[in-house]
Amino acid sequence: MTDTIPASNPYILLTPGPLSTSPTVKQAMLRDWCTWDDDYKALVQDIRRKLVRLATRDLGYTSVLIQGSGTFCVESVITTAVPPGGKLLVLANGAYGRRIALIAERIGVDFQIHDEGDTSAPDLGRLERELATDAAISHVAAVHCETTTGALNPIEPIGRIVKAHAKVFIADAMSSFGGIPLDANDVGADYLISSANKCIQGVPGFGFVIARSAELSKTKGRARSLSLDLFDQWDAMEKDPGKWRFTSPTHTVRAFAQALRELEDEGGIAKRYQRYCENHRVLVEGMQALGFNTLLPQENQSPIITAFLCPVHPGWEFGKFYRNLKQQGFVIYPGKLTDVETFRIGTIGDITADDITRLLKAVENAM
């Protein structure tokens, strides 16, 4: 058995991004674009407007596009939003919440981390107490969908508590925006962060921040980074509409514009959410029928990615299982936990329940 997949049988990416994209999204990258061209800048502006409309009904928001992966966007928010003398409280129950804390540590932002472990949701009572007793806390960051485990965190009640204490709320919606219904204003998010290659179903190359304009306008000169200065990026895009400060990933942007159109054609976020939920349902029921158990209870589980416990019987080896599935045309994710052996299967991207049914047959063949 080899890792080579015939060109006529490309594999499906069952990951939380990058993910499988439509042929038309791929085709959109076949044309070259100039970053200074008015047509290209108009395309960027259209993307910015559409992102805000997808994120909220409130008119007080704007959007900023940032080169790089989603983590670049998270760092741009942390380095720009938290002022000298401010303090960041990070709610973490997985690797991506802890990464926010690591970013704060690296750039010298005062922070504390509220870590409930990988399989528990953030403690809302503890959050209330921390905000009530520590007046230095100015900003709170939380991850909506923690893809370490597939957990869907209670972003709405977290946001209500944060705003009741008049703090700035940073919502990492990296793996949920575009795939799970959510209104940035309703959840109290001053900054909502995501990436092109997640539920919008574009390709990697840039991320974006949907920000409350009044909050972002306060941040001029705060950033501890030149390239990740969120205010300066926004200011440039406002003064010369659609122009990025530095070279933009033009092909990725063009693919993203196509992906946005395909989201609209599908019926918007609500319809995409239904498809993802059906993918997830078929996956979990099928995997359980094959003897696999999920790490999390269903009430804590997102329809984005699911962690399964590795079998403990002799002969099981994830690498062998992975290679077998890849040979059959499916790529899954290894686990990201240290205390329990898991693997993860994503249910987002340009896939349907029929693809999941075919995956289940491949899993059965791989056992």
Mean per-residue pLDDT, 220-247: 97
Give Cβ neighbours of residue 190 (< 8 Å, ≥ 6 apart). 81, 168, 169, 170, 211, 212, 215
118 with 94: CB under 8 angstroms? yes
Residue 17 scores a pLDDT above 90? no
8-state DSSP, 16: S
Tell me the pLDDT band of 262, cut-offs 50, 70 and 90. Answer: very high
Which tens digit of pLDDT belongs to each residue from 82-141?
Answer: 999 999 999 999 999 999 999 999 999 999 999 989 999 999 999 999 999 999 999 999
Residues of the chain with CATH 3.90.1150.10: 12-16+268-366
Encoding tokens for residue 96?
A: 């991506």
pLDDT of residue 3: 46
Residue 66 scores a pLDDT above 70? yes
Tell me the pLDDT band of 4, cut-offs 50, 70 and 90. Answer: very low
Mean per-residue pLDDT, 209-213: 98
Q: What's the predicted TM-score (pTM) here?
A: 0.95
CA 142 to chain CA centroid, Å, is 12
Q: Write the DSSP assignment of 292-340 as a string of letters.
A: --BSS-GGGB-SSEEEEEPP-STT--HHHHHHHHHHTTEE-EE---SSS
Mean per-residue pLDDT, 178-192: 97
Between 36 and 233, the more confident residue is 233
Residue 200 scores a pLDDT above 90? yes
β pairing state of 206-212 and 305-309: unpaired
Mean per-residue pLDDT, 199-221: 98
Mean per-residue pLDDT, 15-42: 93
* Percentage of residues of the chain with pLDDT beyond 90: 91
Tell me the pLDDT band of 7, cut-offs 50, 70 and 90. Answer: low
pLDDT of residue 338: 66
pLDDT of residue 8: 47
pLDDT of residue 232: 98
- CA-wise closest residue to 83 among 136, 128, 133: 136
Between 25 and 340, the more confident residue is 25
User: Alpha carbon of 56 to those of 59, 186, 268: distances in Å?
Assistant: 8, 8, 13
Residue 6 scores a pLDDT above 70? no
Q: Please, what CATH class does the domain formed by 12-16+268-366 belong to?
A: alpha beta
Q: What is the CATH number of domain 24-264?
A: 3.40.640.10
pLDDT of residue 287: 97
Residues of the chain with CATH 3.40.640.10: 24-264
Average pLDDT, the chain: 95
pLDDT of residue 85: 95
Mean per-residue pLDDT, 153-170: 98
